[in-house]
């Protein structure tokens, strides 16, 4: 009888063990599936740093300049580039006080900036997260391999569909069908970085809250089932003739920022960053950033196009001085309802000196009345500006 009980107990134990084994197997299988769509700890750190940079606790618009690093052909200039990039990095961090920096160029050119930012960790001001702008998706694998050795880089911006404009959610879904973007995003996450999609919207297209929610859901699916930390929205460029350019100037300024109706629920999932390409001067940058803030964007991606003559003369000292002055004014709480002309003191790199200089010129009356029309001698490429 006791033997029968022992056998019965053994069967019960065996049965329980079998159930436990099956439960454990199922749990492990679930964990394996979860791991396939879960970020690495390094990628999670990158997400945290970028999320903090893209969102302001006070709900103010965060500012992110674009830097295009030159590739000099002259050997001497190539040797000097590292020190110039290091100096520029320090200016963006300590004087311009950028929230994050988008950088286009070779990874080799970027390396000194990454080192300068990483060396600032633990100091004040602290490091500014760097987002590497990928210009050719064919180079993703080699770029990610090189980026493994560069500190300070937290994300890679991908221009979805090669920068092709989309005007509706259906158009996005059609383009995404045969796209390799999911694999690209996965590779970026595997490298411990964050993929940041850039969507180019057709000029004049408008997106309702329902459209925006569907679009963000579609982007999530394209990225492999995870919400990206941020999405950059860029308006496509209009191709006007010279005759139409002047007559359409006001309309272009109004259309310079993406027209999105952003639902609060979706904004909690991913940061909305709007591109600004308008040339500095005449308060155009102020107008564009104000529009993005009104439309509830989290941040502004200030493209290199804002810097007059940057393609013809990519002097990094000039670029650093420009962003220090421009971002100083864009962040200013002072009234923007005035107009002035001033000579840029780029070598000063101090926003307050810039403001005082402009104020002195205005108060001197040497420029006459603002309504007197633009001065034909104003040379924007040489450093003359009428506000930002």
pLDDT score of 247: 45
Q: Report the range of poorest mean pLDDT among 83-87, 245-249, 342-346.
A: 342-346
Place of tokens 């109706």: 261
pLDDT score of 296: 96
Would you say residue 113 has pLDDT above 90? yes
Would you say residue 170 has pLDDT above 80? yes
Query: Across all residues in the chain, what is the average pLDDT?
Result: 80
pLDDT score of 45: 96
pLDDT score of 335: 46
First CA to last CA distance, the chain: 96
Residue 62's DSSP bridge partners are 299
What percent of the chain has a predicted confidence (pLDDT) above 70?
A: 71
Give me the mean pLDDT over the 29-38 stretch. 44
User: Is the backbone peptide bond immediately before 346 cis, with ω within 30 degrees of 0?
Assistant: no
More confident residue, 354 or 285: 285
Q: Categorise residue 127: left if φ over 0, alpha if ψ from -120 to 50, beta otherwise.
A: beta
Q: What are the start-end ranges of the E strands in 208-281?
A: 230-235, 259-260, 271-276
CA distance 9 to 16: 11
* Parallel/antiparallel/unpaired status of strands 62-68 and 299-302: parallel
Confidence of residue 260 (pLDDT cuts 50, 70, 90): very high
Would you say residue 93 has pLDDT above 90? yes
What's the burial of 111, exposed, middle or buried (CB within 10 Å: 0-12/13-18/19+)? buried
More confident residue, 323 or 335: 323
Give me the mean pLDDT over the 222-228 stretch. 95
Reading the block at residue 372, the tokens are: 């007197």
pLDDT score of 6: 47
pLDDT score of 275: 97
Place of tokens 């019965």: 8
Confidence of residue 179 (pLDDT cuts 50, 70, 90): confident
CA distance 322 to 329: 11
């Amino acid at each position: 009888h006791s033997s029968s009980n022992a056998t019965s107990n053994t069967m019960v134990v065996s049965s329980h063990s079998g159930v436990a084994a099956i439960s454990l197997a199922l749990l492990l299988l679930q964990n394996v599936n979860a791991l396939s769509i879960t970020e690495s700890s390094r990628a999670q750190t990158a997400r945290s740093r970028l999320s903090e940079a893209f969102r302001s606790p006070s709900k103010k618009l965060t500012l992110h300049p674009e830097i295009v690093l030159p590739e000099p052909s002259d050997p001497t200039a190539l040797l000097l580039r590292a020190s110039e990039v290091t100096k520029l990095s320090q200016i963006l961090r300590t004087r311009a006080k950028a929230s994050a920096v988008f950088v286009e160029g070779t990874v080799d050119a970027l390396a000194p900036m990454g080192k300068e930012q990483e060396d600032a960790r633990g100091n004040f001001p602290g490091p500014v997260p760097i987002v590497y702008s990928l210009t050719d998706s064919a180079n993703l694998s080699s770029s990610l391999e090189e980026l493994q050795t560069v500190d300070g880089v937290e994300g890679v911006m991908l221009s979805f569909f090669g920068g092709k404009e989309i005007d509706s959610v259906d158009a996005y879904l059609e383009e995404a069908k045969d796209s390799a973007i999911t694999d690209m995003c996965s590779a970026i996450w595997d490298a411990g970085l964050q993929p940041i999609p850039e969507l180019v919207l057709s000029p004049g297209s408008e997106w309702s809250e329902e459209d925006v929610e569907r679009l963000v859901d579609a982007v999530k699916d394209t990225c492999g089932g995870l919400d990206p930390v941020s999405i950059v929205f860029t308006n496509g460029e209009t191709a006007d003739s010279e005759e139409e350019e002047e007559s359409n100037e006001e309309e272009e300024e109004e259309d310079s920022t993406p027209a999105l109706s952003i639902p609060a629920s979706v904004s909690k999932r991913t940061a909305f960053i709007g591109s600004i390409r308008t040339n500095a001067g005449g308060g155009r940058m102020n107008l564009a950033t104000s529009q993005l803030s009104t439309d509830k964007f989290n941040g502004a991606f200030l493209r290199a196009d804002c810097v007059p003559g940057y393609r013809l003369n990519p002097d990094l000292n000039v670029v650093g001085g420009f962003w220090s002055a421009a971002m100083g004014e864009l962040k200013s709480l002072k009234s923007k309802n005035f107009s002035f002309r001033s000579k840029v003191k780029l070598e000063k790199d101090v926003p307050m000196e810039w403001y005082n200089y402009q104020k002195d010129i205005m108060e001197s009356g040497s420029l006459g009345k603002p309504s007197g029309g633009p001065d034909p001698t104003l040379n924007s490429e040489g450093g003359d500006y009428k506000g930002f």
